[in-house]
DNA sequence: GTATAAAAGACAAAAACGGTCCTGAAGGTA
DNA sequence: TACCTTCAGGACCGTTTTTGTCTTTTATAC
């Protein structure tokens, strides 16, 4: 249960490669894919998501590629994971805005527990930057 | 990401029904399914898992059915969820026993983070019993 | 213009999810 | 013994998600 998919795994590997490069250096997706050992076309999709979320900048044409959009110390693991996997939601009932009980419009009896789980996971992932991860190697 | 499946949702609903019944009362799967609004054959599979994990007792033949195997205050939400969804493992690397780094037999740089996530989730779910949930519900 | 590189979308195999159905086994009951 | 009840176990099946690939388009540099 609660398992990260390959996409999330690849996303982390890809962004960590960028973080390991000199700040501001533009990297090709082919280069990142090779270094991170991820299928190139799949990684391209992942980096599209990153670009949309403002985690990386993308440049087209000759000399194009990707750079981090911010200092790696300002990018959290949570952002990276959520960019490709969507928000961290242990149960649908957290989306339905409190009307999750089957007999009415109140929160179900597990609602608060899922909120606690969510908060716990978010706190851990928000507490780690890709700079910290990159330093560990 | 990290979403509970229907199976987990149904599992909780089913066990909560049992917890709401007089202690020791034997309930038919058909009765539980109707009360919990879950497809009966599907719920039957779920209760098979419960029985294997020692959460419920099952009895066959006339007068058979299911009872809780323990007092509801001694059954945690974690047990219920894990019985049907498997162990809480945010990343495969937690299974591989430390050899998750691509360049060798060491833990990867995110390993400790996943351990923290896992520990956090487990702590929350272990802190809630189905008795507590049943009282609220 | 032309080469380069990312963006976007269509497509597809494989796995997981969300069930159903059927047979068998175990336990009562007459 | 025969029969009925109830759970156990496995086969099956449609749908969705995952894990990609491939092709076309768009933006940019030279």
3-state secondary structure of A97: coil
Domain B6-136 top-level CATH class: mainly alpha
Beta strands in chain B (DSSP E): 56-59, 65-68
As to burial, measured by CB atoms within 10 angstroms (0-12 exposed, 13-18 middle, 19+ buried), residue A8 is buried
How far apart, in whole angstroms, are the C-alpha atoms of residue A87 and residue B14?
28
- If pLDDT is split at 50, 70 and 90, which confidence band does B95 have? confident
What confidence score (pLDDT) does residue A117 get? 98
* Nucleotide closest to A62 measured between CA and C1': C4
Inform me whether the pLDDT recorded for A67 exceeds 80. Answer: yes
How far apart, in whole angstroms, are the C-alpha atoms of residue B48 and residue B104?
41
* Nucleotide closest to B66 measured between CA and C1': D7
Show the tokens assigned to B62: 């006339």
What confidence score (pLDDT) does residue B77 get? 98
DSSP state of B100: -
Residue A119, Cα to own-chain centre: how many angstroms?
A: 16
User: Are B134 and B19 spatial neighbours (Cβ–Cβ below 8 Å)?
Assistant: yes
How far CA B20 is from CA of A21, A109, B6, B48, in Å, comes to 58, 13, 21, 20
Smallest CA–CA separation between B26 and chain A, in Å? Answer: 24
User: Are B114 and B94 spatial neighbours (Cβ–Cβ below 8 Å)?
Assistant: yes
Contact B1 A1 (CB under 8 A): no
Task: Show residues of chain B in contact with A12, CB under 8 Å.
Answer: 110
How far apart, in whole angstroms, are the C-alpha atoms of residue A109 and residue A106?
9
- Mean residue pLDDT across chain B: 95
What confidence score (pLDDT) does residue A106 get? 83
pTM of the model: 0.94
* Residue B137 forms contact with A (CB below 8 Å): yes
Contact B124 A113 (CB under 8 A): yes
DSSP state of B55: S
Smallest CA–CA separation between B57 and chain A, in Å? Answer: 24
* Residue A133 forms contact with B (CB below 8 Å): yes
Torsional sign, CA A56, A14, A16, A1: positive
Residue at token pair 């000759």: A62
- Closest by CA to B127, choosing from B70, B75, B71, is B75
In tens, the pLDDT along B42-91 reads 999 999 999 999 999 999 999 999 999 999 999 999 999 999 999 999 99
């Amino acid at each position: 249960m609660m398992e990260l998919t390959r996409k999330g795994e690849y996303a982390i590997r890809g962004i960590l490669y960028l973080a390991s490069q000199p700040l501001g250096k533009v990297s090709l997706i082919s280069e990142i894919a090779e270094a991170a050992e991820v299928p190139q076309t799949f990684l391209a999709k992942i980096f599209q998501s990153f670009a949309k979320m403002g985690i990386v900048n993308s440049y087209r044409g000759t000399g194009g590629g990707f750079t981090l959009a911010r200092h790696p110390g300002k990018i959290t693991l949570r952002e990276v994971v959520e960019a490709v996997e969507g928000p961290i939601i242990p149960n649908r009932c957290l989306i339905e805005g409190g009307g999750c009980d089957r007999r009415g419009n109140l929160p179900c009896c597990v609602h608060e527990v899922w909120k606690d789980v969510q908060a716990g996971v978010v706190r851990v992932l928000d507490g780690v930057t890709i700079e910290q991860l990159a330093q560990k190697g």
